[in-house]
Chain A
Amino acid sequence: MKKLTLAIALSTALGLGAGPTLAATIEEKIDILQQELETLKAELVKLKGQQQTPASAQSAEAQGPSQGSGISFAGAEGSAAARNAIPGSSTLGGYGEMIYNNYRDGDVKDQLDFRRFVLFFGHKFSDRLRFFSELEVEHALVEGGEGAVEVEQAYLDYRINDAFIVKGGAFLIPMGILNETHEPPTFFGVERNEVERRIIPSTWRENGMGVHGEIAQGLHYDVGVVSSLDAGKFGGPDVGIREMRTELREAPAHDFAFYGALNYRGIPGLSVGGSLFTGNTGQNGVTDSALKGVNARLTLWDVHGQYRLGGLNLQALYARGKLGDADQITAAAIARSGNASEIAPSAFWGYYAQAGYHIPVGAEMEVAPFVRYDRYNTQASVPSGLNANPKNNERVVTVGVNFKLHPQVVLKADYQNYKEDNSKDRFNLGLGYMF
């Protein structure tokens, strides 16, 4: 037996390295051995079948193909079969992007930034129980309050069946398009779109529990209860409620929030959906005592769609938010910062529409020019007696191109024109990858 194993190993090694004539001969021999093995296997299965009583044979059938001659018979040989047979394995992945911003306004600092370096770790405890995580380093270095090391996701998924998967831990809120799918080769433009940054505060994750699954062909739901935002952290109305994110660190747990999302992806090329997030954000004044007893209810929703027809790629999204007790949040924010422009919105909204065209180049490369129009107002409504900053009522046109060296590696270039705040006009270059 040992000799046979050695012979097969030697033959295999020679088969790869030797010339075509010799390789063919050895391969033929191994082929014969393979055929003999197959015959023996078939006979063994037949013999086993004869030994079983009809009742036990029926029970084996009911247990599904993985118990019998299913996957292993099928030729899912090598690593896949081994992986399937050994529940409990870890996986590694990641993505990252480097971005160059060149502003038209000479007073604004141009920069070349390694914006994100993200490592993905996953572990499969069993076919039903899995762990997912993403660890991110922002701006390459954490020093003097700049840059960040963040747990972007870290949650467990327990699959009861395809329609009912329970998750718990720190996970991304299923809102909009970009929040859950934000690897650089998957979106147009060097910078992420403005609406999913200033209205939906992507990348947005919370601690909590949820249930998700597919309830009909291509129809996915996701609902849950999570930690809410913290109105005591409000700042920078140009980015809406973004600063109110707790980013998972000792998140205050006085107020919780509910989220729900429904998406349909049953027709190739088409994706439509919507989502809702609602909850109080006062957190009983734990961050700013001025907000003790204040509800500061936030309700944010969105509808979105994507459609690919041939090379054409269309995408649009509308999002709208309402923040209660904006007057008290504003008073607290101004008292904290001493800055009278820190005015919290009682309503904010935004939408964008985007069109791109994918042109294949060679075996795996691709050029994809695109255009996007972002329209948003982060202070659509402010507490009475206060004035919104007109620069927060913005229109942005972005024109550019994505060039894929490989389906998972992208070079990007674009130009962004801001109608209200010209100091933001810029030319961007980017490099991104995912694996």
Chain B
Amino acid sequence: MKNRLRAACLTYWVFLCVYAQADEQVYLAPEVFLAEAFGTPPPPTVLWITAAIQPDVEKILGHPPSKLRQRYWSDGIKTAWILDEIGKEEFITAGFIINNDHIEKARVLVYRESRGGEVRYAAFLKQFEGAQLSDQRRLTKRIDGISGATLSVWAMDRMARLALYFHRQAQK
């Protein structure tokens, strides 16, 4: 009986280890996200975070931007942005497709935090669709939070607002 239990435990452990090797917490490959947006993605282009727009970026993020330039993809009408922002202690990588100053789609590509992973689910992300940037740089739609995932929700909100702001700048 004991041997059977040991064998069962060992089998389960081996299964978990093998299963674990395939799991990288990358929920959507960037290439797939871009293909969802454009079919065949256009070549990337760059938006410079110049001294003129840096204060606005800082206001949206609540901290200075960590980059001098932001890469994005555009087919002339809509733009796609892949952004990173810290939730509690890890970066969340999220993708936003902006069309006519509206969020067309929001996706979580990589989630690294230990709690709050519900932000990657469609039920949460759908709330961003149709949202615009208000004059006060808030989203025009209210985003319902997730209990226990407050910091991840805030990070997603900041990235959504930044993508809308960047889109506006890129259209200029």
Q: Are A130 and B114 in contact (CB under 8 A)?
A: yes
Instruction: Beyond the given A74-B33, A360-B138, please list 17 additional residue pairs across the A-B interface where CB-CB is below 8 A.
Output: A15-B68, A23-B48, A31-B45, A31-B48, A65-B29, A75-B70, A84-B112, A91-B89, A132-B114, A161-B16, A162-B23, A162-B117, A265-B148, A268-B144, A306-B147, A362-B136, A363-B59
Cβ distance B47 to chain A, nearest Cβ, rounded Å = 10
Type the 1/0 row for A62-88, where 1 means its CB is closer than 8 Å to any CB of B.
Answer: 001110011101111111100110000
A-B contact pairs, 7 of them (CB 8 A): A16-B51, A71-B109, A73-B30, A75-B44, A91-B89, A160-B17, A268-B123
Query: How distant is the Cα of A20 from the Cα of B148 in the complex, in angstroms?
Result: 44
Which residue on chain B has the smallest CB distance to residue A26?
B48
User: Does A49 count as interface, using CB distance less than 8 angstroms?
Assistant: no
Type the 1/0 row for B2-23, where 1 means its CB is closer than 8 Å to any CB of A.
Answer: 0000000000000011011011
Type the 1/0 row for B115-131, where 1 means its CB is closer than 8 Å to any CB of A.
Answer: 00110010110010000
Tell whether A266 pairs with B20 under 8 Å between CB atoms, given A38-B44, A271-B146: no
Query: How distant is the Cα of A357 from the Cα of B33 in the complex, in angstroms?
Result: 36
Q: Are A157 and B114 in contact (CB under 8 A)?
A: yes
Which residue on chain A has the smallest CB distance to residue B30?
A74
Q: Are A64 and B26 in contact (CB under 8 A)?
A: yes
Tell whether A160 pairs with B84 under 8 Å between CB atoms, given A17-B51, A76-B110: no
Which residue on chain A has the smallest CB distance to residue B161?
A363
Q: Are B24 and A128 in contact (CB under 8 A)?
A: no
Residues of B within 8 A of A (CB): 16-17, 19-20, 22-26, 29-31, 33, 43-46, 48, 50-52, 59, 62, 66-72, 82, 84, 88-91, 93, 109-110, 112, 114, 117-118, 121, 123-124, 127, 136-138, 142-150, 154
Which residue on chain B has the smallest CB distance to residue A31?
B46
Q: Which of A38, A165, A308 contacts B144 (CB 8 A)?
A: A308
Q: Are A266 and B138 in contact (CB under 8 A)?
A: no
Q: Which residues of B contact A180 (CB under 8 A)?
A: 148
Query: How distant is the Cα of A284 from the Cα of B80 in the complex, in angstroms?
Result: 64
Q: Are B29 and A364 in contact (CB under 8 A)?
A: no
* 9 closest residue pairs by CB, A with B: A74-B30, A269-B144, A271-B147, A80-B84, A75-B71, A91-B89, A268-B144, A65-B29, A80-B91
Query: How distant is the Cα of A34 from the Cα of B70 in the complex, in angstroms?
Result: 12
Q: Which residues of B contact A84 (CB under 8 A)?
A: 91, 110, 112
Cβ distance A259 to chain B, nearest Cβ, rounded Å = 17
Q: Are B121 and A122 in contact (CB under 8 A)?
A: no
Query: How distant is the Cα of A35 from the Cα of B42 in the complex, in angstroms?
Result: 13
Q: Which residues of A contact B146 (CB under 8 A)?
A: 265, 268-269, 271
